[in-house]
Amino acid sequence: MPKNENLFSSWRGWRGRVTSRLVHRGWRAVQRAGAVTAERPGPYRFGRIGVGTRLAFPQGTLFGEPWIELGEHCVIGEQVTLTAGMMPGVDLGPDPVLRIGNGVVLGRGSHVIASVPVEFGDDVFCGPYVYVTSDNHSYDDPEQPIGRQWPRSAPVHIGPGSWLGAGAMILPGARLGRNVVVAAGAVVRGEVPDHAVVAGAPARIIRRWAPEEGWQPPLRTPAPVPIPEDMTVEQLLALAELEREQERAGERGLEDAGEGRLEREPGAGAS
């Protein structure tokens, strides 16, 4: 290849790398500037935004903010839709319609649609693309398009400490107890008791905690050991290295045991 072509390719590669860095750096600056917090609410006027709560940029559809209350230290992912009322500009009265407790996480692309009360307890964690709604289409009149018929609405309650997996749907009238697990893709309606795991469409209980018996059916794996709060990063790294050394020692022990068996077998090593 001629020397000038090498120089051109090198320059073009350098320019591409610089452009990529600038684009990503600029986008991060836009994300920081566009995030919504109590100190920087942007164009939105929520009924409440608690300390430490952040709505990532870009946001999804947001309206009815005066009737939406967000607790403290919530994480609202990108493209999350939060709406109160059937449409923007409607007076919904003196009380909040959508209440999100403290420490709630709503994953990217999730939707929460509320025209009647919807409530998230504290420390509810949601995966991406979760859909929670107080409204569902009705189809009573066979002559009218379904989208033009007045929807059926019912309040929704999600108990504190619950986990909603990716793509889960919570339908009008659902009431989830405390520390409920909703499997990915499940469609939940009706009442779910405390400490239950539900899955499927429609969702059904597949596991439940009984105080006398523990989890039924029993869990297949032991509970993970939590990391002590006072452990430093250096200690964690040293512990991980120690575990790797123990694994390597165990592998060497298995190899030595295998060689020993070969030596004890009659005719071992004979040609």
Structure confidence at residue 31 (pLDDT): 87
d(CA 186, CA 190): 13
- 148 inside domain: yes
For the sheet containing 54-55, what is the strand order? 54-55, 75-76, 105-106, 125-126, 163-164, 181-182, 196-199, 204-210, 214-216
Q: Which residues are known catalytic residues?
A: 137
Task: Indicate whether 115 belongs to any domain.
Answer: yes
Residue 164 lies in a domain: yes
Task: Read off the amino acid at residue 108.
Answer: R
Please check whether residue 149 lies inside any domain of the structure: yes
Backbone angles phi, psi at 63, to 5 degrees: -155, 165
Residue 270: per-residue pLDDT: 46
List, for residues 7-45, the tens digit of each pLDDT value: 556 767 778 888 889 989 998 999 899 999 999 999 999
Is residue 228 a part of any domain in this protein? no
- Residue 163, in any domain of the structure: yes
For residue 259, is it within any domain? Answer: no
For 209-240, write each residue's pLDDT tens digit: 998 889 999 988 888 877 777 888 888 788 88
- Secondary structure (3-state) at 101: coil
Q: Which domain holds residue 146?
A: 11-216
At 50, list the tokens.
Answer: 């608690």
Asked if residue 271 belongs to a domain, the reply is: no
pLDDT given for residue 116 in this prediction: 96
> Domain of 187: which CATH number?
2.160.10.10
CB 155 within 8 A of CB 117: yes
| Whole-angstrom distance, CA of residue 206 vs CA of residue 192 | 11
H-run or E-run covering 210:
strand 204-210
Using alpha carbons, select from 182, 87, 177 the residue that is nearest to residue 132: 182
- For the chain, what is the domain count? 1
